[in-house]
Structure 1
């Protein structure tokens, strides 16, 4: 017995209600009571990075990674909503999956990951 998964992700926000609404509207995250949402079973990665990593912004201590299905359709919907979506071919990894990045209204990086297969 031990830890079986991530039970929550908690962080400070300048406008928690507005930010919660943005995540619910654009990503379907936390739309239930108390920000609850049911997730599908699948891989999760817990990986501290070096303090000087350039994988995400130097002024941030974390980057949220969300598993996604239909990454192309999700990116199209986000772009249609006026959200900048960044993709780079060198982020995609055979056997691991494809990636895209967006930022929430408070500038927090969100990596969208469509696992391979």
Structure 2
């Protein structure tokens, strides 16, 4: 039987409660965010919208993200510009580069959570 989707993302944190709160408040990600198909929320689950997920190992020597980090979280977003405005207003440092954006792959921005974990924000290309 094949795997049917991503079941979770688990990572270590110095202050798990504070970091979970930051993800909920800044990005709407984590337990208690979204609703299931019946419109119900859960204190345990995040219900993301269906869509594409990239699962891709990178070479150990990649410069696509910081060499001292083993992984980078990529979050699919709608209205990247609006989210970046909110993050900027909250004091979150944002990096964008024109060469990251293409009509084939969409638009990208990078931020870091309060513990320095890299996060790539991805707005998929319009259909």
**Distance in 1 between the 2:80 and 2:3 partners?**
29
Give the match's secondary structure for 2:111.
strand
TM-score normalised by L of structure 2: 0.89
**Distance in 1 between the 2:5 and 2:107 partners?**
22
The reply on whether 1:113 has 2:122 as its aligned counterpart is yes
**Distance in 1 between the 2:112 and 2:125 partners?**
23
The aligned residue for residue 101 of structure 2 is 92
Identify unmatched segments of 5+ residues in structure 2.
33-42
**Distance in 2 between the 1:93 and 1:106 partners?**
30
Shift of 1:95: 1.6
Give the match's secondary structure for 1:41.
coil
Higher helix fraction: Structure 1 or Structure 2? 1
The aligned residue for residue 47 of structure 2 is 38
Which structure: larger Rg?
2
Shift of 1:96: 1.2
TM-score normalised by L of structure 1: 0.96
Shift of 1:31: 3.9
Identify unmatched segments of 5+ residues in structure 1.
none
The aligned residue for residue 66 of structure 1 is 75
The runs of at least 4 consecutive aligned structure 1 residues that moved more than 6 Å come to none
Q: Which has the higher contact order (CA 8 A, sep 6+)?
A: 1
Shift of 1:2: 1.2
Deviations 1:28-59 (A, max 9, x none): 0014123x211111100000000000000000
